[in-house]
Chain A
Amino acid sequence: MTASLNARAAVAVLVALGLLLLPLYSSASGNIFLLTLFTRIVILALAAVSLNLIMGYGGMMSFGHAAYLGIGGYAVGILAHEGIGSGFIQWPVALIASALFALAVGALSLRTRGVYFIMITLAFAQMAYYIASGLARYGGDDGLTVYKRSDFAGLINLSSRVQIYYLCLACLFGGIYLVWRIINSRFGLVVQGLRSNEQRMQAIGFPANRYRLVCFVIAGTMCGLAGALLANNTDFVSPAAMYWTRSGDLMVMVILGGMGSMFGPVVGAIVFLVLEELLSQVTEYWALIMGPLLLVIVLFGRGGIMGLLGRFSRG
């Protein structure tokens, strides 16, 4: 038990250190591409961490989590397009819009369970996708270029590769810390209890859906932040960010890394996106290799990579 815990903790510390030191390496070696890639990885890891909160700890299989990436991104993009460049306005709007969307989706979809829940969250995300596609003023299908990154009044310069990377990393670590506090709190125990046995939780006096809904909104808001970061990092936001395959990618990252493990989604995001990058250099049919690989990990490593780590070190 403790050995497996140590192996996992060691991996988490190593990965965290690696992420912290990455800009040093990339500037020393002049490999700017690496930093760009990892900025994207860190942002999507934050999205995966937020998904893990509802999926891994709350047992809510949301298949529409990419919607918040889009909503956060469009909040930044649209405000920038309309001449409101201040991040102090853009980012709170991104978070609030994501929270409200999560509230609406959650209020309706949490009446259902299982496959129906998956389908309804998917349907809402697709709705967001088509709405974004219809926004002719903001590029419609083609998406919207963000000509100017969020302005934080000199506090931080998002046009600097290193600064935006560290901002994203700070958001990721902050997000993980927040999830860690939440899952050990009273609220977190209730949410995990509901995943384990809803009937029992109702019988001892917990109104299930209120707690689930709040959890759902927290996760959505967190992912909205990832969306705001992503729009700034790519200078672009498009409906494609909300497409269902995007939501699927996020789910894969969580499952790959280990559902319900604190650091799993980060490892999952790194492995998934680095593999995607490497394999797509080898062949355009990279998904043919990625697919079976995922299958193997899911089949033999229930609990994902973090789960496997635990097993090896115990073995």
Chain B
Amino acid sequence: MADPLLRVDKLMKRFGGIVATDHVSLDVAEGELHAIIGPNGAGKTTLISQLTGQLTPNAGTIRLGGEDVTHVPAWRRSALGLARSFQITSLLLDFTALDNVALAAQAHDGHSFRFWGDARKEAPLRNAARAALERVGLASRAEVTVSRLSHGEQRELELAVALATKPRLLLLDEPMAGLGVSEASRMVGLLQELRREVTIVLVEHDMNAVFALADRITVLVYGRVIASGEPAAIRSNEDVRRAYLGDQHAVTRHG
């Protein structure tokens, strides 16, 4: 069998006494959309951050296309085809939308030790950036400073930035977070299209979106994988039900 695009093996991450990622193993095949769900504090973002290299795991391995990238720094993983969007929007707020995306394209077009030419006049970079903006429906907002974009537009821009790096694997950390109903459904539509082009790992709270999109789902609770499989199997899984129901009980009790 061919190597999966992403293989996570017995990943461990501790913060003091808390085990945020507890022996997580996970395979993501080329072309699939793999969703990771779980209650708040299940360690989803911690897992994503280890995959992208912002955090270093205490044990375990991460392989991308068969290559061990466990200790490869974040910027180099990007060169290997990994892109991420952040749960809390992380953009260059004082740059225009177009600049944000063009920089992502620039990062993957050789080194940037070029000191003389005007980078904003480089047609290939600008065109690639415009294409990515077009892709997410932000073409008309290209010249707007990011801090002036709406939250929904910033979420879409996050996606455009990730796309501009021409990733093989796209890690999306709650792309729907904070979106209104219509914005969220636009995002789902967008992800429907993107999934045909690129392998996606999607962390998301919106269960409707997850079950509409995912080929396979992995459920994390307290840093541990309690189930992994196709949506239908997950829906009927007893452990998953208990985890989510238990969570809900806790919420109502506190509320």
Binding site for B on A (CB under 8 A): 181-182, 184-190, 192-193, 196-197, 199-208, 211, 214
Contact = CB atoms under 8 A, between A and B. Distances in A.
Contacts of A204: 78, 83, 103-104, 107, 161, 164-165
Contacts of B164: 204
A135 B55 CA distance: 47
B92 A188 contact: no
A149 to B, nearest CB: 31
Given A202-B74, A203-B84, A184 B118 contact: yes
A186 B117 contact: yes
Nearest to B84: A203
Contact of B94 (A187, A190, A196, A203): A196
A186 B112 CA distance: 6
A197 to B, nearest CB: 5
12 contacts: A186-B114, A189-B106, A190-B103, A193-B92, A197-B93, A199-B86, A202-B73, A203-B90, A205-B165, A207-B75, A208-B75, A211-B112
Given A202-B74, A205-B79, A205-B108, A187 B95 contact: no
B94 A199 contact: no
Contacts, number: 99
Contact of B52 (A197, A203, A208): A203
A206 B84 CA distance: 14
Interface in B146-168: 161, 164-165
Interface residues of B, number: 37
Contacts of B73: 202, 207
Query: Can you list the 10 inter-chain pairs with the closest CB atoms, starting with the nearest?
Result: A205-B78, A205-B107, A196-B92, A186-B112, A186-B119, A204-B104, A186-B114, A202-B74, A204-B107, A207-B75
Nearest to A196: B92
Interface string B70-81: 000111101100
Contacts of A200: 86, 90-92, 161
B112 A187 contact: yes
B54 interface: yes
Given A204-B107, A205-B75, A208-B75, A185 B91 contact: no
Contacts of A181: 115-116
Contacts of B114: 185-187
A193 B113 contact: no
Nearest to B85: A203
Among A192, A203, A211, the most chain B Cβ lie within 10 Å of the Cβ of: A203
Contacts of A214: 113
A214 B115 CA distance: 11
A222 to B, nearest CB: 13
Contacts of B116: 181, 185
A190 B91 contact: no
A229 B11 CA distance: 58
B126 to A, nearest CB: 12
A207 B53 CA distance: 13
B99 interface: yes
Contacts of B104: 204-205
Contacts of A196: 92-95
Contacts of A185: 114-119
Contacts of B120: 184, 189
Contacts of A201: 75, 92, 103, 107
Nearest to B93: A196
Contacts of B93: 196-197
Contacts of A182: 115
Pick the most buried of B78, B103, B165: most chain A CB atoms within 10 A of its CB: B103
B75 A202 contact: yes
A242 B119 CA distance: 36
Contacts of A190: 103, 106, 112
